[in-house]
Structure 1
Amino acid sequence: MFQNLSITLNSSQNYSLTQPWLQLGPRVPLRNRPVTRISCVSTRPKRKSVPINDKSEAEELVRVIMRNTSGKEPFLKTLNKYVRVVRTEHCFLLFEELGRSDKWLECLEVFRWMQKQRWYVADNGVYSKLISVMGKKGQTRTAMWLFSEMRNSGCRPDTSVYNALITAHLHTRDKAKALEKALAYFEKMKGIELCKPSIVTYNILLRAFAQARNVERVNALFKDLDESIISPDIYTYNGVMDAYGKNGMIREMESVLSSMKRNQCKPDIITFNLLIDSYGKKQEFNKMEQVFKSLLRSKERPTLPTFNSMIINYGKARLREKAEDAFKKMKDMGYTPSFITCESLIMMYGFCDCVSKAREIFDGMVQTGKEMKVSTLNAMLDAYCMNGLPMEANMLFESAKGIGIIPNSSTYKLLYKAYTKANTKELLQKLLKRMDRDGIVPNKRFFLDALGAFGSSPASAKSARTTTVVSSLQDSAQT
């Protein structure tokens, strides 16, 4: 079905395709769908939209509170200082900031503080936001407690609360059990008038089952959606295609793309980028390049992730000239390379056995004087290691702090795997001592990953290295 793809431009559309896999139509934005809001207190006045100036003032106040609580004084003490001005909108912003900082306990402190204020009225939005934050941090039990707390406070759950609860369960490690729970909530929602599944509910479940490679369940959900009064949107298709694409399930991804076309949903830049990345990872470069040409003919414009993906995927296939052409095209279109672009180029040259070119880019980034990221260091170390240069990698690692980069656990794991594969016992022992000095405590997963680093090595060398890793694993278990 997807052989001999041909892309042509049509005067009545941005583009016209002879194959269904990228012949797409207009979309219905998610923001245009009707939203039902259930208030816990019927006499509560309708919340007005916050003016832009007020919103910026709220954000500034939250920044001040966050600065004052960065290890200097207890969170509640700071909140009490601003008790006369802090309101619900500030607390929402605090939940977001604290969630990003992994300070979920402080979120609960803010919530308890809110409940003691005279202006506080139990609201589904507050609970939904907190359940969402707890879910993202893997605190499923706390999310469930908040759900019970919400009902005890007199609030009636609505669709947004159940969506947050489903998402919270999907963040747990036991994915099979999580999907089972999510489906149970989904079926329960259908039987509650105020909690009917929305397109957001379907999008959450469709993406989750696509990530789990459960094609049968994805098809069943699409059928259920088709029979409902809800129409899929661009987020529906992008989420499912992205999940399939990341799992290398190209045929399933293209099937969803055909469904997108039948429902006259027009692609956006996210659609183009995920197709380019998915085809690139599978090294189906003809399709990747045709999608890129179609993107150039559309009303959308490429973004940096478009070019970054092409550069790294060409590099993995050792197609250096094509990768450099993609970079040149990016510059010709007026784009400024980001640090991710530079990391993609470093990795590309590493794959193409051009370590000196990779080091040129790395040194150029250092010379700019901008703050260097540990991911950039890791990219350069990986380029050295994949080309059998562990000594050079060690020299760079030793000088990292001098250029303002603090290695993290991923740096140590990368080097441990590389030194194990190269059977450099001296470097391994030196690395372990450095880990101990820097307070990096390896777990079993750390060493098990290292065991997989030399699966294709000769038997004799593999045996010696396995002994080294297992010995390290035993030492770690004893400590």
Structure 2
Amino acid sequence: MTTTPPLPFASASLQLTSVPKPSYIQSSTHRPYPISRIRMCGISASPGKKTGPRKTRKKISSSPSSEAEDLVRSIVRNISDKEPLLSTLNKYVQFVRTDHCFLLFEELGKSERWLQCLEVFRWMQKQRWYIADNGVYSKLISVMGKKGQSRMAMWLFSEMRNSGCKPDTSVYNALITAHLHSRDKAKALAKAVSYFEKMKGMERCQPSIVTYNILLRAFAEAKNVDEVNALFKDLDESIVSADTFTFNGVMDAYGKLGMIQEMELVLARMKSKKIKPDIISFNLLIDAYGRKQEFDKMEQVFKSLLRSKEKPTLPTFNSMITNYGKARLREKADSVYQKMTEMGYRPSFITYECLIMMYGYCDYVSRAREIFDQMVESGREKKVSTLNAMLDVYCKNSLPMEADMLFESARASQMLPVDSTTYKLLYKAYTKADMKELVEKLLVCMDKDGIIPNKRFFLDALGALGSSSPSKKPTSRNDRLPKQAPTGRA
């Protein structure tokens, strides 16, 4: 096999200051695999946590925090229709304290169970050890904000003041963030600014760098360049100093919006402040240039990264593979993967999903399916995102029948998880392709699997239908898989 040449780099015109190597970068010495023979790299599993009795787990816990996490996981696992939340908490009443409740807020907040967070809060208030604390309210306000419950966040803010707690900077930061999750962005930004100005007049609530970072990113996401510049000027005149997070957040927001010139101005401002870019800075620049298909600049940043004291991370390579794929530059994407393995990086499941999607963009569906089958057969943990990636490849290449066969196989074999994201992806694709029979069949499957679509589910599908155009018909079926899908694999 001919060795793929290394990535070509343009002469560097965008110079980034190098920074010290972070301690969390790990090196690997596994044997690289050529792209034409992609195989599942055997990743040795990290020692899993034992699931024996609580006393056993206590012996192997390395710190009080890990003991608290173990206890919280046990509580969450035991919550069911037969054992509701409050009954479960009462069983653990001798052990649960404030730090456990904080972890419970986080665990419950990851799902749609925000109402259960309030149940935990009410349960806390009835315990002898409970003392009204700003931290508890701040955490709850943050959880409610992430779930779009700004009214509930405001109620908690009032409840906090009624309990005798005085607001501080962290509470106002949580309240601002909660409002920024509202659907009416203009109203949310106005409210956030009013809180910001109010904070300036209260000694114990002076804006911190976190406050500025929240607002700067929000206005960048709203494409309000004037307000971003005004906040930077305000920050320069305050006693608060900008940090790497400040500039990364704004550059990331501009980069995702394709506002490259504004992003580069923020980078210049960052350098003028003598703040050194970290690996996140490099990664978001690489991703932003890749999204806009400004590959010369993307390669320049990557070259600067390799010469710096920083080291690439898997997201660095994943982003380049994906963006080269979207531009149908398969050879360059292949060379990035080869360079990654030559440098000793071990691909993650996300890397393989990026490869699947890349080959899909490049009309190389059979290669995408090969990688998918290898992942399924590897014995590694199966993720719904992997199935969704392959289904998306079929749909984007106008192969709805192949997508349907794979979906049926996944459901029948139960080798891969199927959830609402899978149904949403297929519903939109089938609707856009005007495949009424497949849509009806999908709805029957949804009913059997207990998937209840919400309003957004159908609105997205109607949007896809409204923007649909004549489906792309492949000029050849040579790259397709046989109609008969294997029954033993998903």
Pairwise TM-score range, normalised by the shorter structure: 0.7 to 0.9
Q: Distance in 2 between matches of 1:391 and 1:457?
A: 13
- Listed as ranges, the matches of 1:197-212 within 5 Å are 197-212=207-222
Residue 109 of structure 2 corresponds to which residue in structure 1? 99
Residue 271 of structure 2 corresponds to which residue in structure 1? 261
Asked if the contact 1:371/1:404 (under 8 Å) is kept, the reply is no
Asked if the contact 2:17/2:277 (under 8 Å) is kept, the reply is no
Asked if the contact 1:209/1:215 (under 8 Å) is kept, the reply is yes
TM-superposed CA distance for 1:214, in Å, is 0.8
Q: Distance in 1 between matches of 2:204 and 2:168?
A: 6
Q: Distance in 2 between matches of 1:305 and 1:24?
A: 19
Runs of 4+ with >6 A deviation: none
Report the 3-state secondary structure (helix = DSSP H, G, I; strand = E; otherwise coil) of the residue aligned with 2:382.
Answer: coil
Report the 3-state secondary structure (helix = DSSP H, G, I; strand = E; otherwise coil) of the residue aligned with 1:118.
Answer: coil
Q: Distance in 2 between matches of 1:23 and 1:102?
A: 42
Asked if the contact 1:417/1:453 (under 8 Å) is kept, the reply is no
TM-score, structure 2 as length reference: 0.81
Change (3 A) 1:5 1:212: farther
Aligned counterpart in structure 1 of residue 462 of structure 2, from 444, 448, 451:
448
- Considering only aligned residues, what root-mean-square deviation do their CA atoms show, in Å? 2.3
Asked if the contact 1:25/1:264 (under 8 Å) is kept, the reply is no
Change (3 A) 1:137 1:420: closer
TM-superposed CA distance for 1:388, in Å, is 2.3
Aligned counterpart in structure 2 of residue 164 of structure 1, from 169, 174, 191:
174
- Listed as ranges, the matches of 1:350-369 within 5 Å are 350-369=360-379
Asked if the contact 2:114/2:143 (under 8 Å) is kept, the reply is yes
Deviations 1:36-84 (A, max 9, x none): xxxxxxxxxxxxxxx9722222222222222222444122222223323
TM-superposed CA distance for 1:143, in Å, is 1.0
Asked if the contact 2:177/2:214 (under 8 Å) is kept, the reply is yes
Report the 3-state secondary structure (helix = DSSP H, G, I; strand = E; otherwise coil) of the residue aligned with 1:399.
Answer: helix
The structure richer in helix per residue is: 1
Question: In structure 2, what residue type is equivalent to 1:135?
Answer: G
Q: Distance in 1 between matches of 2:443 and 2:64?
A: 53
TM-superposed CA distance for 1:174, in Å, is 1.1
Question: In structure 2, what residue type is equivalent to 1:168?
Answer: A
Residue 291 of structure 2 corresponds to which residue in structure 1? 281
Asked if the contact 2:17/2:308 (under 8 Å) is kept, the reply is no
Asked if the contact 1:273/1:305 (under 8 Å) is kept, the reply is yes
- Pick 1 or 2: higher relative contact order, CA cutoff 8 A, min separation 6: 2
Asked if the contact 2:18/2:309 (under 8 Å) is kept, the reply is no
Identity of aligned residues (%): 73
Question: In structure 2, what residue type is equivalent to 1:316?
Answer: K
1:22 matches 2:32:
no
Deviations 1:351-389 (A, max 9, x none): 111111000000001111233222211211221222222
TM-superposed CA distance for 1:287, in Å, is 0.5
Q: Distance in 1 between matches of 2:119 and 2:414?
A: 39
Q: Distance in 2 between matches of 1:452 and 1:250?
A: 30
TM-score, structure 1 as length reference: 0.83
TM-superposed CA distance for 1:91, in Å, is 1.6
- Listed as ranges, the matches of 1:67-466 within 5 Å are 67-401=77-411, 402-442=413-453, 443=455, 444-455=458-469
Q: Distance in 2 between matches of 1:128 and 1:439?
A: 35
Report the 3-state secondary structure (helix = DSSP H, G, I; strand = E; otherwise coil) of the residue aligned with 1:22.
Answer: coil
The unaligned stretches of length 5 or more in structure 1 are 8-17, 27-50, 459-479
Change (3 A) 1:440 1:74: closer
Change (3 A) 1:71 1:273: farther
Asked if the contact 1:366/1:403 (under 8 Å) is kept, the reply is no
